Structure 1
């Protein structure tokens, strides 16, 4: 492996604004150096990597730029060469000192790439409903740094900028009074529309707007602090008309998403689209079976036609089964002589993604419905590949019909290791989503039941009530979209 550095613009705060190239670079990284303004949620794309926080906040530097440059080089050259991802808020080269980091790589002889990011100069304004340019209000703009106002040898000639239609100031909250003073002295109209946006593109976004001359007072009264972007120009008038992000049905509401699978959370993405502040809480982790040889032997029997029906009651069961088939040198063709049933649409989609269309899915999701409706006969052998914590509802419902179920462990379900930081965030949750009975039990064990919860499916609702949740909102149908609607009902009722 050879040394390589990716300088990645993380975007302005919304994790959904990371570029596809940035995501790919994170997935390939051995080490990630991330800063204060890069969303921590982006680290989910690099679970394999060593993570090092090199953040700078406001005017208090936790680590100098020179030390960051040195660390990038050291990590890239470590152990014969590593792939280092330097994750920076906004864009790498827009007041991000990415040029200095690139020069450090060049001087050390380390190959590097620059992955541009969406700058907060444009994105924060857009999320506040302010177009940086508009045919009727502005055809030119300039992006400036408010930090220049702290220098004794001020470099900015405000007379040169006063005639530009739109001015965008980054890192300028502390120096805003002086910025406004200089603009007015340079001839800018005191009544020029202006706005300051804090934490733009995130559920913490706040903004104030008004005449340029009044903006410092308005910002102080609102308690707006860094990180913030200030926009000065006629385009700022459009906020009243085009404001969209902070009008989302869940804007700013804290919703805990309990994850029982590794990887990204589509539910979290749907909630973010409505403005929610998503607290992703992994409750369960999965490991291979305690006795893999039994699983391999059973799958060999499946390939030889020993079972008429193969049942899947979770997406993880599908993943684990196909991982085992791959280790054995098999693929989906090993199931060709077996009828396959899925407990619900999500599990069915997981099978279809692997080239297997289920022969049966019950009218309603759930192990109980699968057991009652499965079109199997008593003489047919039925196999259930599941975890060691599988509920017995499926087995009981099949036994009532005279069917015998063989159950084999395909994976193990274990409690996740939840950080103290994640536990502290849970205290802020206004609603918790539960998509399975195992999630209900795991969350209750982790944080108790004194939370309102939105649940998906009757079995999840029953499990939630059984462990002690009292404030429950049920989704109208077994889909993530319906679960989001349940969250909205619960929080807005």
Structure 2
């Protein structure tokens, strides 16, 4: 960290890290930026910084917003700098988040200079700048083989557009002055047919890009109802966009997808959806609770430690977690399972076991379900198996398929309720309304209980919403509730379910392009149909 000469002996002051927050996508933060946020006592933000970035800061961090003053007037760079310096008093570690890169930001350098003047130690953490990131996400190269020069201009005041002579021009920070900028580019000598791209929400799943010419772009922006702030790219390199557009062509780009699972289980599914460009919204429909009578699970876990069982079979992550919690309560760890044969119903549960340090002895080679586990389970052999008992911790609502099948093979089964699944509280009214009126593009169901519980707490999804199910049993339950199933995973896996939905999105996109129809999301088609109906009346 740079320490001004007159501040080296001032131990009563902290330091400020001016951190580039990137163009909008929280995933574009640098590792150093994440580290700085994790060490922060105070985080200084303004309205341009996505709040998801704050997930990297400590839970109890103090937030200071320097967008406007108490009267609602935008703060000057000097005023922002004074607030930042004040926050750094008493040895506190301050992180100032600035959109894009700190020294490309309109007020970044001035804020740093205010700290220099106040004798506050500082460092600058470079970030991904808007002027390069947004064109990249729009599929527009700034230079190509024939056009080798590019110029990035932040529109913060008057610009001499006659001096902007590069092949490709990029303008950031544009709001209501878009029309003046376009006319100024023409007045500076660019021909009206020059290609131009106007981008909003750059690098986020709300990104929209309009490609037109200088002559027609304002009409195109108005027709698309595009609202600023804008990033504008002008130049012939825009001609490469059809071939190089990689972000907005993701299979589920901008789809709002409902993920009705327990919060712990939603993370991997939501991550897979984001990779396909979707916006997952997690709505817990199930709450996992301890059993009403814990004596049964307590007795079984003690018996497991004492060597009562030959096998233990985990049919879900929650069953594994319930057993782990009991062992931890007794001061034990994974070593308590030594000598036991361990079965897992599928690869996800097996992965959770491996993270705990246990390699499962049996995972289904085929269908990852109780039926698949039974297909590979060895029958009891009184010569080879010294103990004939299996510990089966499971949910209170789980089927008896596995227990019954094991008993048919000669095993004695302690079928124990390890946890209860109960219906979660209803989601907020706004979410319930979005479900019923088709504002979600898709809903992913990962079990029959998520179907029943979502319908119970929020109502049935709209008929235009794409319904995706993890397997045949879940699909059957969805159909019993009057839902049309559009997508089903090839195997009961959350990641494969997300992949199946992405494949559906790709096929749908190709179909719309081939038929010459607009590339509207399922939720947009609902609104378009509604407008057509009103116009017909």
- Establish whether TM, by shorter chain, passes 0.5: yes
Task: Give the 3 Å change call, closer, same or farther, for CA 453–63 of structure 1 in structure 2.
Answer: farther
Of 324-333 and 65-74, the range deviating more from structure 2 = 65-74
Secondary structure of 2:283's match? strand
Of 29-38 and 211-220, the range deviating more from structure 2 = 29-38
Deviation per CA, 1:171-219, whole angstroms, max 9, x where unpaired? 2141122223333444444443321112223333222223335433433
TM value normalised by structure 1: 0.79
- The answer to whether the aligner puts 1:435 opposite 2:446 as a matched pair is yes
- Alignment partner, residue 104 of structure 2: 94
- Matched-pair contact (CA < 8 Å) for 1:279–1:429: no
Distance (whole Å) between structure 1 residues aligned to residue 23 and residue 111 of structure 2? 20
Q: CA deviation at 1:54?
A: 4.7
Task: Give the 3 Å change call, closer, same or farther, for CA 257–472 of structure 1 in structure 2.
Answer: same
- Alignment partner, residue 365 of structure 1: 368
- Alignment partner, residue 249 of structure 2: 247
5 Å-filtered alignment, 1:284-295, equals 284-286=286-288
Among candidates 401, 404, 409, match of residue 418 of structure 2? 409
Secondary structure of 1:453's match? strand
- Matched-pair contact (CA < 8 Å) for 2:469–2:485: no
Task: Give the 3 Å change call, closer, same or farther, for CA 8–302 of structure 1 in structure 2.
Answer: farther
Among candidates 485, 494, 498, match of residue 484 of structure 1? 498
Q: How many residues align?
A: 480
- Matched-pair contact (CA < 8 Å) for 1:308–1:338: yes
Task: Give the 3 Å change call, closer, same or farther, for CA 188–61 of structure 1 in structure 2.
Answer: farther
- Matched-pair contact (CA < 8 Å) for 2:379–2:409: no
- Alignment partner, residue 121 of structure 1: 131
Secondary structure of 1:244's match? coil
- Alignment partner, residue 445 of structure 1: 456
Distance (whole Å) between structure 2 residues aligned to residue 169 and residue 358 of structure 1? 57
Task: Give the 3 Å change call, closer, same or farther, for CA 174–422 of structure 1 in structure 2.
Answer: same
- Matched-pair contact (CA < 8 Å) for 2:427–2:458: no
Deviation per CA, 1:377-416, whole angstroms, max 9, x where unpaired? 3962222334555455544554565632241536876626
Of 221-230 and 260-269, the range deviating more from structure 2 = 260-269
Distance (whole Å) between structure 2 residues aligned to residue 236 and residue 103 of structure 1? 37
Distance (whole Å) between structure 1 residues aligned to residue 14 and residue 406 of structure 2? 57
Distance (whole Å) between structure 2 residues aligned to residue 473 and residue 276 of structure 1? 16
Q: CA deviation at 1:135?
A: 3.3
Distance (whole Å) between structure 1 residues aligned to residue 397 and residue 335 of structure 2? 28
Task: Give the 3 Å change call, closer, same or farther, for CA 291–26 of structure 1 in structure 2.
Answer: farther
Distance (whole Å) between structure 2 residues aligned to residue 113 and residue 436 of structure 1? 50
Of 93-102 and 435-444, the range deviating more from structure 2 = 93-102
Distance (whole Å) between structure 2 residues aligned to residue 76 and residue 404 of structure 1? 63
TM value normalised by structure 2: 0.73
Q: CA deviation at 1:263?
A: 7.6
Distance (whole Å) between structure 1 residues aligned to residue 291 and residue 262 of structure 2? 17
Distance (whole Å) between structure 1 residues aligned to residue 210 and residue 127 of structure 2? 26
- Matched-pair contact (CA < 8 Å) for 1:389–1:413: no
Unaligned runs of 5+ in 1: 149-153
Of 115-124 and 315-324, the range deviating more from structure 2 = 315-324
Among candidates 360, 375, 378, match of residue 375 of structure 1? 378
Q: CA deviation at 1:343?
A: 1.4
Secondary structure of 2:220's match? helix
CA RMSD of aligned residues (A): 4.2
- Alignment partner, residue 175 of structure 1: 177
Distance (whole Å) between structure 2 residues aligned to residue 397 and residue 62 of structure 1? 71
Distance (whole Å) between structure 2 residues aligned to residue 82 and residue 396 of structure 1? 62
Distance (whole Å) between structure 2 residues aligned to residue 475 and residue 82 of structure 1? 50
Of 7-16 and 128-137, the range deviating more from structure 2 = 7-16
- Matched-pair contact (CA < 8 Å) for 2:468–2:497: yes
- The answer to whether the aligner puts 1:464 opposite 2:472 as a matched pair is no
- Alignment partner, residue 153 of structure 2: 144
Secondary structure of 1:404's match? strand
Task: Give the 3 Å change call, closer, same or farther, for CA 488–184 of structure 1 in structure 2.
Answer: closer
